[in-house]
Amino acid sequence: MRLRLVRHATLALEYAGHRLIVDPMLDDAGARPAIPNSHNPRNNPLVPLPMEREQAVEGVEAVLVTHTHSDHWDRTAAQVLPNDIPLLGQPEDENKFRAQGFTRVQPVTRHVLGNEIEIVRTGGQHGRGEIARAMAPVSGFVLRATGEPTLYIAGDTLGCSEVEHALSTYQPSVIVVNAGAAQFLAGGPITMTSDDVITVCRAAPKAHVIAVHMEAINHCLLTRSDLAFQLEAARVAEQVTIPEDGEWVDAKR
């Protein structure tokens, strides 16, 4: 397997000979207003796509969407992806995808794609307490196939029992975490902080952790360099890749 960070949480993924896209956010820079009630109010996305939009979706055989907040599934993605592409997401989003005209929507609890990739839905907590309830539901996915490292895409979640459960149950070799420590004016972070990423590293010391979901949406306050500094201080930096937009990452096995 290998994957390319397109931007934010959008990943181009090559896995078991198939090409997938995860959480496509394909709007032009500044196409949407700032997240309401947030710091640093600037239009989103903050940065452009690092490639032509056509290139981001070229050859894609299926789409995985962890949840439908606009930084994971936007209007442009719904427009440019073909209506008959297999679209896998959490069961709660099925009707939304169908209303947008997608005909091959696959609500995932456990699913086999192309006869060979097993995809399992995992849970998460997109904040704590009341905020988490308002932001729910969210999902992550575990991908497994013969001859490929087990990949865990955690989605928008803090460190929580669902993440611990996924790590211990599936023992992933590669873990994508959504960092950025996104937050509103009130309440704590709703995506992983540097401490959360460090906790994942320590819970899965042999795994290759790939940290994304930074510097593209205005309420994500943790930058790549802040995270790198904290990972270095915690002595876990070696197992983590923090890709730039457009950068390919090969799984370390």
Residues at the site binding Zn ion, with contacts judged by CB under 5 A? 71, 156
Compute the least distance from the CB of residue 137 to Zn ion, in Å: 14
Structure tokens at 108: 């995932």
Nearer to Zn ion, 70 or 150 (CB): 70
* Residue 71 buriedness (CB in 10 A; 0-12 / 13-18 / 19+): buried
Beta carbons of 98 and 186 less than 8 angstroms apart:
no
DSSP state of 236: -
Which strands sit side by side in the sheet containing 140-144, from one edge to the other?
A: 110-113, 117-122, 140-144, 151-153, 174-178, 208-212, 240-241
Is there a cis peptide before residue 137, judged by omega within 30 degrees of 0? yes
CB of 72 to Zn ion, least distance (A): 6
CB of 71 or CB of 93, closer to Zn ion: 71
Q: What are phi and psi of 233, to 5 degrees?
A: -60, -35
Q: In angstroms, what is the minimal distance from the CB of 124 to Zn ion?
A: 11
Cβ nearer to Zn ion, comparing 221 with 237: 221
Q: How does strand 105-107 pair with strand 87-89?
A: parallel
Residue whose structure tokens are 């802040």: 226
| Least separation in angstroms between CB 68 and Zn ion | 11
**Closer CB to Zn ion, residue 71 or residue 245?**
71
Residue 117 or 154: which CB sits closer to Zn ion? 154
Q: Which is nearer to Zn ion, 201 or 214 (CB)?
A: 214
CB of 118 to Zn ion, least distance (A): 25
Find the shortest distance in angstroms from Cβ 45 to Zn ion: 11
